[in-house]
């Protein structure tokens, strides 16, 4: 069982307006798992046996499409829930989740977490807020695919990914991900992402390699995401 309460775990929206004693009790019922990069946390199509809270690291959400292609849907940061929709509605995991870097997660068996929600009604309300927020984010991204230029979408996605790191704005942040991942996240091609990142690298906004992007100038990205540059 978990004995340590991570800063991101305790700050998760899941525990909003709960007393610290209640948060400690809920986390004490979880198993604390530490996994390496590439480790599979949830497999698409499996029964919803576990609910996980990402305490440290980043996780990649991907789905195998009907034609057999694996598509990246999003990246999750510390404080987010893994498998929440499947666990709460009791259907198979709709996507796979793997560690994009070394991760630490709290994990509850489904039945145990459902019992905790009965004992702590506020926990159930917060869980609904979390699920609704994730659905809203996905809907907003899909709407943006048709309405916003790729350059604007890419800037917004990089800012979202960097924002999960809880670092000072002036500090450069490295994201370990491929250009293909970024293309799938913003609904464009590998070629288009490469072209934009190369241009931004010349301007000092980012630096990028084969499987990494170093975000150097967040204020510039914010202006691009807002359509001001």
Would you state the pLDDT for residue 2? 43
Distances (CA, A) of 22 to 4, 8, 14, 15, 126: 14, 16, 12, 9, 14
Would you state the pLDDT for residue 11? 59
Would you state the pLDDT for residue 4? 47
Q: What is the dihedral of CA 189, 138, 222, 210, to 10 degrees?
A: -40
The pair of three-digit structure tokens given for residue 7, joined into one six-digit string: 């800063």
Number of independent structural domains in the chain? 2
Q: What is the dihedral of CA 40, 186, 77, 64, to 10 degrees?
A: -20
Last residue of a domain, one of 138, 170, 199: 138
Structural domain containing residue 104: 7-138
Would you state the pLDDT for residue 217? 92
Segment-wise mean pLDDT, segments of 10 residues, the chain, 229 residues: 50 84 92 95 95 91 85 86 89 94 94 94 88 73 69 90 75 87 87 93 90 91 86
The pair of three-digit structure tokens given for residue 106, joined into one six-digit string: 């709290």
DSSP reduced 3-state for 215: strand
Shared-domain flag, residues 127 and 51? yes
Task: Examine residue 1 and state whether it is found in any structural domain, yes or no.
Answer: no
Task: Examine residue 154 and state whether it is found in any structural domain, yes or no.
Answer: yes
Shared-domain flag, residues 72 and 98? yes
Gap between the Cα atoms of 14 and 211, Å rounded? 32
Would you state the pLDDT for residue 116? 95
């Amino acid at each position: 069982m978990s004995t340590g309460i991570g800063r991101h775990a305790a700050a998760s929206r899941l525990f909003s307006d709960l007393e610290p004693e209640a948060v400690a009790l809920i986390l004490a019922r979880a198993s604390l798992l530490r996994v390496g990069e590439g480790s599979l946390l949830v497999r698409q199509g499996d029964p919803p046996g576990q609910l996980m809270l990402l305490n440290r690291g980043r996780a990649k959400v991907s789905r195998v499409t009907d034609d057999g292609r694996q598509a990246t849907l999003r990246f999750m940061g510390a404080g987010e829930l893994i498998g929440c929709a499947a666990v709460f509605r009791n259907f198979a995991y709709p996507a796979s989740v793997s560690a994009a870097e070394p991760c630490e997660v709290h994990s509850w068996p489904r039945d145990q977490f459902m019992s905790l929600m009965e004992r702590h009604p506020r926990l159930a309300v917060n869980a609904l807020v979390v699920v609704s927020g994730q659905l809203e984010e996905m809907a907003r991204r899909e709407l943006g695919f048709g309405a916003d230029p790729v350059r604007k979408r890419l800037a917004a996605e990089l800012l979202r990914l960097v924002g999960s790191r809880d670092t000072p704005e002036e500090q450069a942040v490295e994201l370990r991900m491929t250009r293909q991942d970024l293309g799938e996240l913003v609904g464009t091609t590998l070629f288009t992402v490469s072209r934009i990142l190369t241009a931004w690298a010349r301007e000092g906004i980012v630096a990028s390699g084969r499987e990494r992007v170093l975000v150097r100038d967040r204020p510039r990205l914010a202006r691009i995401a807002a359509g001001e540059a």
